[in-house]
Structure 1
Amino acid sequence: MKNSVNYFKNNKLLSFSFLLAVISCIIGRFSVEDIDFKVILTLFGLMLLIQGFEEIGFLRFVAERSLHYSKDSRQLVQLMIALSLIGSMFLTNDVAILTLLPIYLKILQLLPQFKGRFLGAVLIIVAANLGSSFFPFGNPQNLYLYDFYHVALGQFLSWMGAVLLLSIVLLGILTFLIEKDPLTEMTLKEYQVDRKAGLLFALLMLVMILVVLNIFSYLWAVAMVAMIILFYRRELFARVDYGLLLTFVFFFIIVGNIGQMATIKNALQSLDGRNVYLASLGLSQVISNVPAAFLIAPFTTDQQAVILGVNIGGLGTLIASLANLIGYNLFREYYPDETRKFLGVFSGVNFSLLLVLGGLFYFVIH
């Protein structure tokens, strides 16, 4: 019982969504039909495989093998940003940050005079958020929105490709604020990756990507992936974030009941494209972009506004994206006395990018 209470205390979004779901059911009703089991099961299958890639250390292996190409501190940060951007596209922003940020922070301990350590850490987090927004399977909100709106893949990639290209330019410009200090000889423990496991996980990930793209049936595909993992690496089941899956279930219930409340439903449906976009950006800042997507999407057909709004909305506050909180907590573990400086740099960079990206794409919305 005590462990359950602690679990809910440590998972505030889960607790918040559970409370709202209970209240909404008391006011309204509970219906299993409100729950989109395709999204839940697809996310479960993706989580299993992402945990597999994290366990074999694929991204860590690539990062450590690539570090010898860095001749100075600026190149080091640029390399880590590129890996974070690309890695998050396929392995989600959480995994990119959990893998790359500790490597970067360990390197900083070997470079005590490095002046750009705060900016470098922030840019790695920002790159993971922006990179994960490109594909429909890169983060939870895209998985949900892509399935909910049945967006054409080409259309989705064109919208998010524009965000990605501009993000790369802006991140590249920001790296020039980091001084070019020569790097001392660094020795990191050489990490080996299980290539057979990596190939298996890659093939299974391809299956799940085809599920997201509605080419394969989610029922048999997820069942197949789960059975293979059960016999091959059953310990991965214990590492899945079931709290996030439950959070999705709770938000489906909440949204189902909101749909029965005429006043709220009419207010949300009255928003036009640019107002939907601004609502998505703003709501992401206070409840994070995943629940923002759940709460807004069912009440508007302005899919471009919602998709762009919640993805760009991951910039800004510390709670705008759960990946931001993961990055902050990792930094705090390594530098507990410098979190105030980190938050200052984090806020400056994130709100500047939110203003630029958010402002530019405001004029793109029809």
Structure 2
Amino acid sequence: MLLNLVRPFARDRFLHLLLIVGVILSFAAPFQPQHWVHAIDWHTIITLAGLMMLTKGVELSGYFDVLGRRMVKRFDNERTLAIFLVSAAALLSTFLTNDVALFIIVPLTITLKKLCAIPINRLIIFEALAVNAGSMLTPIGNPQNILLWGRSGLSFGEFTWQMVPLALAIMFSLLVLCWFCFPHKKLTYHAHDKLHDWQPRLVMSCVAFYIIFIVALELKQEIWGLAVVAVGFLLLARRVLLSIDWSLLLVFMVMFIDVYLITQLPVLQQALSGINQLPAGGLFALGIGLSQFISNVPSTILLLNYVPASLLLAFAVNIGGFGLLPGSLANLIALRMANDRRIWIRFHYYSLPMLLWSALLGYGILLLLKQL
């Protein structure tokens, strides 16, 4: 049992790389370990832990098997199934945030692999791109928008309206790409597979725990909400807690510390001192470029110290979620859940072209709006 818990940490090459980077940065940035605990966004870690337990509970209940079989029978070809899943991921991310949408869509997608022959890795990649596209629409779609909304002084509707052109343009582009990347190939249902039993009691418990957890998050009592969920599974279904990839939480914690160390680099702080003097194009490129290496949420936090929460900044950091893997934490969540090393390289075959195209779209829309 202990070996099963330790094994993911020992095999996690990405975690090992982040630890090595952190050690190197410790020699270049001011070394203050007592500040590292404050560098971690504990709200994100606690939220992620709760969602991991809840989705794993639904997965082990067998309900995704039931839902997956219904979906396979409803969609007769690969293309329509892919477009439905990608659209669903984007729609869910607009009001449930991008990471929550992934915790619903990706486990369901993985279940479909047992029911029919589908390109599972390609589907998960497109779902990761979809939540980045869909979540940029609303102020609550992702953490960077929550930050920008709070600083902008705009209403919910005003913020959403200003993001509509970019969100719709990128989502339409992604669906067109999805049309060409997934063939009109008939899905073959594995009729010989046994119909899996599912556990309604565990599913209903997960729903109840989810409601409690969300209410706790709203009341800023997330630690108590997490405790209720953890104790509930400990009493009801201990195997849920033993089946979770806990190393993912450590990956996020080390990422937060690494980003903190990067922002403390004297050379970076000196370079950022002149940000408010950059032209619009320079700030746009900086927001996208920074996101590629320290993720778009830390980039937003960093840049808001120097520039106002403008539409240009919102476009830049949201577009920055595409491209390299660190661009958005949602990318990491989706690819980790796929549990296939080949997906890490293949992700960039689609995400890098999406980054370039989205940057062109975004800057073009900004120039057009400036003319109006």
What TM-score do the two structures reach when normalised by structure 1? 0.71
Gapped runs of 5+ residues in structure 2?
Answer: 1-6, 235-240
Name the counterpart of 1:350: 354
Name the counterpart of 2:318: 311
Q: Measure, in 1, the Cα distance between the counterparts of 2:157 and 2:266.
A: 30
* Count of aligned positions: 344
The answer (yes or no) to whether the contact 2:296–2:320 under 8 Å persists in 1 is: yes
Letter in 2 for 1:306: L
Cα deviation, 1:59-81, whole Å, max 9, x if unaligned, reads 94655543322022221111221
Letter in 2 for 1:16: V
Q: Measure, in 2, the Cα distance between the counterparts of 1:106 and 1:266.
A: 53
Higher deviation after alignment, 355-364 or 195-204: 355-364
Q: Measure, in 1, the Cα distance between the counterparts of 2:314 and 2:357.
A: 17
Structure 1 residue 241: Cα displacement: 0.9
The answer (yes or no) to whether the contact 1:140–1:290 under 8 Å persists in 2 is: yes
Name the counterpart of 2:204: 195
Letter in 2 for 1:74: R
Name the counterpart of 2:283: 276
Q: Measure, in 2, the Cα distance between the counterparts of 1:20 and 1:365.
A: 41
Letter in 1 for 2:299: A
Structure 1 residue 123: Cα displacement: 2.5
Q: Measure, in 1, the Cα distance between the counterparts of 2:122 and 2:186.
A: 17
Structure 1 residue 196: Cα displacement: 2.8
The answer (yes or no) to whether the contact 1:312–1:357 under 8 Å persists in 2 is: no
Structure 1 residue 131: Cα displacement: 2.9
Residues 186-335 of structure 1 mapped to structure 2, 5 A cutoff: 186-187=190-191, 190=196, 194-208=203-217, 210=218, 216=219, 218=220, 221-233=221-233, 235=241, 239=246, 241-249=249-257, 251-252=259-260, 255=263, 257=264, 263-324=270-331, 333=340
Q: Measure, in 2, the Cα distance between the counterparts of 1:94 and 1:14.
A: 26
Q: Find out whether 1:164 has 2:180 as its counterpart.
A: no
Q: Measure, in 1, the Cα distance between the counterparts of 2:276 and 2:294.
A: 20
Name the counterpart of 2:184: 180
The answer (yes or no) to whether the contact 2:129–2:351 under 8 Å persists in 1 is: no
Letter in 1 for 2:253: L
Identity rate of aligned residues, in percent?
17
Name the counterpart of 2:25: 20
Gapped runs of 5+ residues in structure 1?
Answer: 211-215
Q: Measure, in 2, the Cα distance between the counterparts of 1:260 and 1:339.
A: 31
Cα deviation, 1:248-288, whole Å, max 9, x if unaligned, reads 35544654x46998733422232354432221112233444
Cα separation, partners in 2 of 1:233 and 1:104, compared to 1, 3 Å: closer
Name the counterpart of 2:130: 127
Structure 1 residue 173: Cα displacement: 2.5
What TM-score do the two structures reach when normalised by structure 2? 0.70
Q: Measure, in 2, the Cα distance between the counterparts of 1:8 and 1:49.
A: 24
Q: Measure, in 2, the Cα distance between the counterparts of 1:67 and 1:349.
A: 30
Cα separation, partners in 2 of 1:10 and 1:51, compared to 1, 3 Å: same
The answer (yes or no) to whether the contact 2:89–2:130 under 8 Å persists in 1 is: yes
The answer (yes or no) to whether the contact 1:274–1:362 under 8 Å persists in 2 is: no
SS at match of 1:298: coil
Cα deviation, 1:157-196, whole Å, max 9, x if unaligned, reads 3344444333332233233324322222345755556123
Residues 24-39 of structure 1 mapped to structure 2, 5 A cutoff: 24-26=29-31, 32=35, 35=38
CA RMSD, 1 decimal: 4.5
Q: Measure, in 2, the Cα distance between the counterparts of 1:44 and 1:344.
A: 26
Q: Find out whether 1:74 has 2:79 as its counterpart.
A: yes
Structure 1 residue 201: Cα displacement: 0.8
The answer (yes or no) to whether the contact 2:15–2:251 under 8 Å persists in 1 is: no
Cα separation, partners in 2 of 1:34 and 1:131, compared to 1, 3 Å: same
Q: Measure, in 2, the Cα distance between the counterparts of 1:47 and 1:327.
A: 13
Q: Measure, in 2, the Cα distance between the counterparts of 1:98 and 1:158.
A: 29
Cα separation, partners in 2 of 1:265 and 1:354, compared to 1, 3 Å: closer
